[in-house]
Amino acid sequence: MHLAEGVLDGPTLAAAALLAAGGVALGLRRLDDRRLPLAALLGAVFLVASTVHVPIGLGSVHLVLNGLAGLLLGWAVFPVLAVALLLQAALLSFGGFAVLGANTLLLAAPAVLAHYACRRLLGSPSRPRLLAAGALAGTIGIAGAALLAALLLAASGGRAFTDLIALLVAVHLPVLVVDATIGALALAMLGRLLPHALRAGPVDPPRGPT
């Protein structure tokens, strides 16, 4: 999940910020004005959802749901997550401004990947397909985030961070299970509540006749 301020070094922060800015720009370009309220509403949902604690025996984990967000938002997940992270950094929660680019990148890039990997499953939304889509999105989202966090740390500190990377990956495992499970079940239920919404691909519709 998020990295704290002060961990990554300058060049890594800069490179990540640059990549994130590119993603945000691309996401904004593909987000037409009419779909802004929808993107904002979904962003609000994911921000609120991230405050939910799920007990897992020893302590609890937060929902992240970046994969599910990517599945529904497409490239728009970049600006939406960037804004959410900016608000979190400013409103005295977790994260930070210097590491904003890195956090955006590590959450949003896997989210976009999840979008491309799973969206065909939304085309004919049967329950097994929706469960699969939600689980896959959750898995790609968290695994991707853990991998990118590891890469960023490796680029920053090299061998000194090896154990930290291992620990972070280990900590991400219960998050992955929770995110994939809840994502799968939620998407399946959403398919029952609003079947047409999923088929249309809420924010980033697949290319084709409208």
Partner 1 sequence: MKAPALAQDDPGRAAAVRPGVAAARPGRRGDARVRLALAVGASVTIALIEAPASLLWLLAAAATGCAFAVLTDGLRLAQLARRLLAVNAFLVLVWLTLPLEFGPDGLAWSAQGVELAARISARANAIALAVCALLAGLDAHGIARAAAALGLPARCARLMLLMVRYIAVIGETWRRLDRAARARGFAARADRRTLAVLAHLLALLLAHALLRAERVDLALRARAFAGAFAAVARTAVPRSDWVWATGTLAALAVALLLPHLH
Partner 2 sequence: MHIGAAPSGPVIAVADLSVERGGRRVLAGVSFAVDSAERLLIDGASGAGKSTLLHALLGLVPRRAGRIELLGRACADEADFAAVRGPVGLLFQDPDDQLLGPSVVEDVEFGPLNLGLAPAAARRLAREQLGRLGIDALAERPVHELSGGEQRLAALAGVLAMAPRVLLLDEPTAGLDADSAQRLLAALLATGVPMIVASHDRACRRRLATRALVLREGRVEGHLNSTG
> CA-CA distance, 122 to 133, in Å (whole number)?
7
189 binds partner 2, rule: CB under 8 A: yes
127 binds partner 2, rule: CB under 8 A: no
31 binds partner 1, rule: CB under 8 A: yes
- Residue 85: both structure tokens together: 């992270």
Tell which one of 29, 53, 127, 192 touches partner 2 (CB under 8 A): 192
**Three-class DSSP category at 153:** helix
58 binds partner 2, rule: CB under 8 A: no
Quick one: what does residue 5 bind among partner 2, partner 1, none, with the CB cut-off 5 to 8 Å set by partner type? partner 1
34 binds partner 1, rule: CB under 8 A: yes
- Residue 4: both structure tokens together: 């704290």
What string marks each residue from 126 to 165 as x (binds partner 1 by CB under 8 A) or -? -------------------------------x--xx-xx-
- Do 141 and 68 form a contact (C-beta atoms < 8 A)? yes
175 binds partner 1, rule: CB under 8 A: no
Please, what is the minimum distance in Å from the beta carbon of residue 148 to partner 1? Answer: 17
173 binds partner 1, rule: CB under 8 A: no
Measured between alpha carbons, how far is residue 36 from residues 77, 84, 182 in Å?
A: 12, 15, 26
H or E element that contains 53: strand 53-55
Please, what is the minimum distance in Å from the beta carbon of residue 30 to partner 1? Answer: 11
209 binds partner 1, rule: CB under 8 A: no
52 binds partner 1, rule: CB under 8 A: yes
What is the helix, strand, coil percentage profile of the chain, to 5?
75, 5, 20
Where does residue 39 fall: left (phi above 0), alpha (psi -120 to 50 degrees), or beta otherwise?
Answer: alpha
**Three-class DSSP category at 61:** strand
**Size of residue set near partner 2 by CB under 8 A:** 3
